Amino acid sequence: MPSPAERAAPLQGAPVPLPSLCIFGDSHIASVKHALDRGLLPHVTDHLEFWGAYGPAFRALEFRDNTILPGDAAAREMVARINGAGREALGGGDFAGYLFYGARLRMADFMPPLLETLCTGGHLSAAVQQKVARRFLRGTKAYRIACAFARATPGLTIAFAPAPLLTRGVGSPGRLYPGAEGATADQRDAIRGWLDREAAEDGIRLLHQPEETITAGYWTDPAWASDEAGQEDDPVHKNAAFAARMVEVFRDSLAG
Amino acid sequence: MAHPYENLPATAYWKTGVAEKNPLQLSGLWTPKYQVPMDAPIVTAGSCFAQHIGRALGARGYQWFDAEPAPAWLAPEDAQAYNYGIFSFRTGNIYTARTLLQWLRLAFDEMQDPGEWWHHKGRVYDPLRPAIEPEGFESEAEARASREATLAAIRRAVERAGIFVFTLGLTESWRNAESGLEYAMCPGTLAGTFDPEVHVFHNHRHSDVLADMETTLALLKVKAPELKVLLTVSPVPLTATASGDHVLTATSYSKSVLRGVAGELTQVHDHVDYFPSYEIITHPVFRGMFYAPNQRSVVPEGVEVVMSKFFADQEAAFGPAKGRRGKGAKGGGKAARKLRTAWKEARGDEDVKCEEEMLNAFAR
């Protein structure tokens, strides 16, 4: 397997970089920043900005007139620190592309219980697949914002990388879905397909966690766990190499 | 000279057991054969009245067993529309003894699937449960896969359950003349196309129902030797009859046959009991007070009275319910929601982690 740095090297036939890209999200965008700082990111844009917040401040972000705004002083201060370019509000037409990263759309909440259903003899009709996918996606504020951006500016590049599966053996999550530990790549692909069909209707490109980062059915392989100081027991966040890999997935999606 | 009618309990005499009592204060209508423990998985199936029993058991903390729970992320209103959590598996209503037997035989590979599917406006319907998907299935393959999941759920339910509650509903049915497959509903009413050359009416006789139920009990005994069976008869009259009789007399025939079979099975089998929800709703003593103005639908107060008598008679016979109080529905519904909550708790305090993560990355 090539190292992250090798993978980050420019590829022949790679898509033309976007003139500008905003990576919007919650605490998960920190790993993208780490990847950027370490030179791991592939070249996907000529102008990159981060915009977002974490914790209660993320929940305090408001959406009005196709623009995301900090809803209180704490959120304003945090957005300013994360963006670092003085962009106090994020408009749907400010960038050529938007990558929603994490942003409370948690694949760890969606995929494991549905894999458990599939792995224990259950079946979802296409109609039910559509309903569960729609409820998961449209129940998340950031996803609804992404949809609004897409509606407001047809042709805009909008991708959404949901927060990845929890990391196996890190922190306290137990084996709550024992049946799903035997899930196959085909079963995971099937569930991703349900989401992709719905997202396509909304003009959103979903970026899925690559198979090589998944282990034991519904866990992220610990090799991709966050390696930042103080994050040793954190099953949620991932390391810079993982973020670089996800941006590669984004780059590949730009190629169509 | 003494005779057997001397010194009987008050409930044995009409005067003291019924006539002198307010009907709502009638007691001892059921002397249960066995205790229903709170921690025994209870499976419910049958005609529409059976769903009230499952719901009431779950609400009281009994382990109503949902063997085919709604998938995660399906909204409660959609779960209901798609017939999840109504019975212990997604069969929809099972009105006759024959259709129960068919489901069990299909589940345990004792019957070959005739491979009949109904088509309407490009959608596919399962003749054994035509209302299970409101818009039908998108293909026969999907309908077949869904049926297989339900058959697996039936196997799971039978093998894990402590008590199987079945509500007998009807004697009238429609069958395929060639295959003998008995449908859940008359073709053409909800789905399918009625063909008088293929679809034949059958009004089960007492001997038919008894034979089908005996075969069912024998099958259950093989698959789950410890399983107890609790029968009830739906008090809901027929919506319509194809027998040629008046719907009122057709209802009397149907319910009388079913009640008779239930009584006979209870006499013959130690592990089979009958709970008189039918009498509680229909008997003239109750003056029809539990029916809606259409004299057919049972009002919620009626269900409440039925189930309160169920629990009261259990307690009168065995004392307070034993066993660890369950969490209501087992296998799905509330249990699934609790599992998801546990999962969210287990992933830790994300806000705290977020803060640490952000501070690391964007610290100046």
Chain B nearest-CA residue for A104: B350
Query: Using one digit for the tens of pLDDT, what is the confidence trace for B84-123?
Result: 999 999 999 999 999 999 999 999 999 999 999 999 999 9
User: Does the residue A159 lie in any domain?
Assistant: yes
Which residues share a beta bridge with B298?
Answer: B291
Going by pLDDT thresholds of 50, 70 and 90, the confidence category of residue B350 is: low
Chain B nearest-CA residue for A175: B343
Query: Using one digit for the tens of pLDDT, what is the confidence trace for A206-225?
Result: 999 999 999 999 999 999 99
User: Does the residue B2 lie in any domain?
Assistant: no
- The domain containing residue A81 runs over which residues? 22-254
Query: Using one digit for the tens of pLDDT, what is the confidence trace for A16-66?
Result: 889 999 999 999 999 999 999 999 999 999 999 999 999 899 999 999 999
At B321 the pLDDT is 80
Q: Which residues of A touch B339 (CB under 8 A)?
A: 113, 176
**Helix-helix angle B350-362:A29-37, to 10 degrees:** 20
User: Does the residue B181 lie in any domain?
Assistant: yes
Q: What is the DSSP string of B84-107?
A: -SSSSSTT----SHHHHHHHHHHH
> What does the block give as tokens for B3?
């005779």
Going by pLDDT thresholds of 50, 70 and 90, the confidence category of residue B347 is: low
Chain B nearest-CA residue for A117: B71
If we measure between CA atoms, which residue out of B251, B177, B266, B281 comes closest to residue B214?
B266
DSSP letter (8 states) at residue B192? S
Q: Provide the residue-wise pLDDT of chain A in tens; the chain has 256 residues.
A: 333 433 444 445 567 889 999 999 999 999 999 999 999 999 999 999 999 999 899 999 999 999 999 999 999 999 999 999 999 999 999 999 999 999 999 999 999 999 999 999 999 999 999 999 999 999 999 999 999 999 999 999 999 999 999 999 888 667 789 999 999 999 999 999 999 999 999 999 999 999 999 999 999 999 999 988 777 889 999 999 999 999 999 999 998 6
At A7 the pLDDT is 41
The answer to whether A33 contacts B361, with C-beta atoms less than 8 Å apart, is yes
Please, what's the b/e burial string for B144-155 (b: 16 or more CB within 10 A of its CB; e: otherwise)?
Answer: bebbebbbbbbb
User: Does the residue A48 lie in any domain?
Assistant: yes
- The domain containing residue B340 runs over which residues? 29-362
User: Does the residue B8 lie in any domain?
Assistant: no
User: Does the residue B23 lie in any domain?
Assistant: no
Scanning the structure block, which residue is given the tokens 């309908």? B143
Count of structural domains, chain A: 1
Q: What are phi and psi of B287, to 5 degrees?
A: 55, 30
ipTM of model: 0.90
Which residues share a beta bridge with B166?
Answer: B45, B231
Count of structural domains, chain B: 1
A187 in contact with chain B, both atoms CB, cutoff 8 A: no
User: Does the residue B274 lie in any domain?
Assistant: yes
User: d(Cα B304, Cα B281) in Å, to the nearest integer?
Assistant: 11
Spell out the residues 6+ positions from residue A69 whose beta carbon is closer than 8 angstroms to its own.
A61, A62, A63, A88, A89, A90
Q: Compute the count of residue pairs across chains A and B with CB atoms less than 8 Å apart.
A: 142
At B356 the pLDDT is 53
